[in-house]
Amino acid sequence: MVYARFFRVLGFALRLLAHGVWWEFLLRRLRPAWVRETAPARYRRWAAAFGDLAVQLGGALIKLGQFLSARVDLLPDFVTEELARLQDEVPAEPFERIRPLLEAELGKPPEAAFRAFEAVAIAGASLGQVHRAWLPDGTPVMVKVQRPGIERLLAADLAALQVVIRVLSLYPPLRRRVDLDRLLGEFSRTLWMELDYLAEARNAEQFARNFAGDPGVRIPRPFWSHTRRRVLVLEDVTAIKITDLEAIEAAGISRSEVARRLYQVYLKQVFEDGFFHADPHPGNLFVAPLEGEGSEGSGRPFRLHFVDFGMVGWISPEARRWLREAAIGLGTRDAGRIVRAMDALGFLLPEADRTLLLRAVERLLDRIWGLSMRALREWSLMEVETLFLEFRELLLRFPFQIPQDFLLLGRTLGLLAGLVTRLDPEFNVFEEAEPFARRLLEEEPWRWVEQILEAAWGILRTPWISSGSWSARCAGSCSGG
């Protein structure tokens, strides 16, 4: 079964690659107009075929499809609509198949561990499924149970993707600019990390601490008495799915306000906490209406509910410092700050022409500043071509790379952009970034003081600073000779 799965995934991926080479590299040169006209039907057909395969096989393919379906900011509607079913249509395993795993993890039948347990799953996911239950004291909970044998299925999927990566690496421009092995390694690491439900419960508690002072965000509480490595029990916080736009509007909630609030919550996670929910697809975010009335034009008050904390990311203090620098640059239209941050974070290759890049970023900010998500998505081909011709030398050399530490963050921000665009196509990321950047700018002097104090404390704590060792080290380096 595992070998058959491996060859099905590999075969589909290789056929898709061959399709891309034939249409986009060969036929496009011969009949460009016809290739453009037939593209929508062709892409829709391949998206539907991938969706069918993902639903049949599950595992890593579901994760990949969910990611692509959320990229409404980049992919055309006819592709994302075909893949959107992977948010909801993942079939659950029959209860008879998961009962042995549930009993083995809990040490008793579910009927003995819970006051009530619904055998029919309310949701299927890529790596597990969710059942509704009630604890012995009557507390309603959600029970996430891992799919039996999921480790073997993931191993087969990742092995097939490894072959695809090797084929893609044969294309020199791609091989030079993207470390595909690292990309797959990061994807693999996050998938295996999601299989540890004990770690997921700890992640949920960390998020709850980070947002303890924010009444607009709710994180479900894990129940450790019933949580195991392959069984996770959380309080029930289900509400309106964040992409159920009709239900959000029917509840009197402003979609644009939901988009703005979600954006702000992620600004805090990335730039302040350095710990972020890395899987913000529509199945993991809910909107809960609250009692009362909001301010004028903001609609009914609401709260954002996050679930599924298996995939999370961490940002080091040093990386966070330079990300804040980039955010200040974006919010204040300071191209120099943006380029310096890109350089410090490792996005620029050594041969990059910093002066030319600075001019390109300045021109890009002039062109896109103030545009809504819809306008950015519909940026005309003529504008793109004009910018390309102006900075042709820079773009042909493409002196950029994606550091491994930012692969997961990039994926997360891509999903976030898709969600925000769906909620409010007129959302203006620049208007929302500006006040945040101003606040960071105001805090900047104090941050430098903090960093100096931290560095000084680090020196004082260094073990070799004692009278004897200091004298020994100074003998060779402090004498002036």
How much is the pLDDT for 142?
A: 97
Alpha helices in 21-59 (DSSP H): 28-30, 32-57
Q: Which strands, in side-by-side order, build the sheet including 302-306?
A: 217-218, 302-306, 285-289, 240-241
Ordered by where they begin, the domains of the chain are: 2-90 (no CATH), 92-148+179-236 (3.30.200), 317-438 (no CATH)
**Per-residue pLDDT tens digits for 326-338:** 988 888 889 999 9
pLDDT at res. 138: 96
SS3 of residue 115 by DSSP = coil
Least-confidence region, from 58-72, 302-316, 439-453: 439-453
pLDDT tier for residue 227 given thresholds of 50, 70 and 90: very high
CA distance 284 to 279: 7
Helical packing angle, 317-332 and 429-461, nearest 10° = 150
220 and 234 Cβ atoms separated by less than 8 Å: yes
Q: Is pLDDT of 348 > 50?
A: yes
**Confidence tier at 112 by pLDDT (50, 70, 90):** very high
By the 8 A CB rule, do 253 and 299 touch? yes
Cα–Cα dist 218/305, whole Å: 5
Mean pLDDT of 38-55: 85
Q: Could you tell me the pTM of the whole model?
A: 0.76
- pLDDT per residue as tens digits for the range 358-373: 988 898 888 777 777 7
Phi and psi at residue 218, to the nearest 5°: -125, 135
> Which tokens in the block code for residue 207?
């998020």
Query: 33: buried, middle or exposed (CB in 10 Å: 19+, 13-18, 0-12)?
Result: exposed
Evaluate whether 247 touches 240 at the Cβ level (below 8 Å).
yes
Give the burial string for 379-392 (b: 16+ CB within 10 Å, else e).
eeeeeeeebeeebe
Write the Ramachandran bin of 468: left for phi over 0, alpha for psi from -120 to 50, otherwise beta: alpha
- pLDDT tens across 401-422, in order? 777 678 788 878 888 988 998 9
Q: Are strands 240-241 and 275-277 parallel, antiparallel or unpaired?
A: unpaired
Residue 119's pLDDT is 96
- Catalytic site includes residue 88: no
Tell me what pLDDT residue 177 has. 58
Angle at the Cα of 209 (from 260 to 229), degrees rounded to 5? 105
Alpha-carbon distances of 224 from 135, 235, 339, rounded to whole Å = 12, 11, 46
DSSP labels, 381-428: HHHHHHHHHHTHHHHHH--B---GGGHHHHHHHHHHHHHHHHH-TT--
Give the total residue count for the chain.
481
Q: How far is Cα 88 from Cα 84, in angstroms, rounded to an integer?
A: 8
What amino acid occupies position 450?
A: E
Mean of all residue pLDDT scores within the chain: 82
Instruction: Give the C-alpha separation, 25 to 18, whole Å.
Output: 10
Catalytic residue among 73, 77, 88, 279: 279
Summarised one tens digit per residue, pLDDT across range 153-198 is: 888 888 888 888 887 777 665 666 566 777 778 778 888 888 999 9
245-262 pLDDT, tens digit per residue, is 999 999 999 999 999 999
Q: Around Cβ 422, how many Cβ atoms within 10 Å?
A: 21
Q: 3-class DSSP state for residue 15?
A: helix
CA-wise closest residue to 222 among 212, 234, 236, 205: 234
Q: 463 pLDDT band (50/70/90 cuts)?
A: very low
Instruction: Find the distance separating the first CA and the last CA of the chain, reported in whole Å.
Output: 71
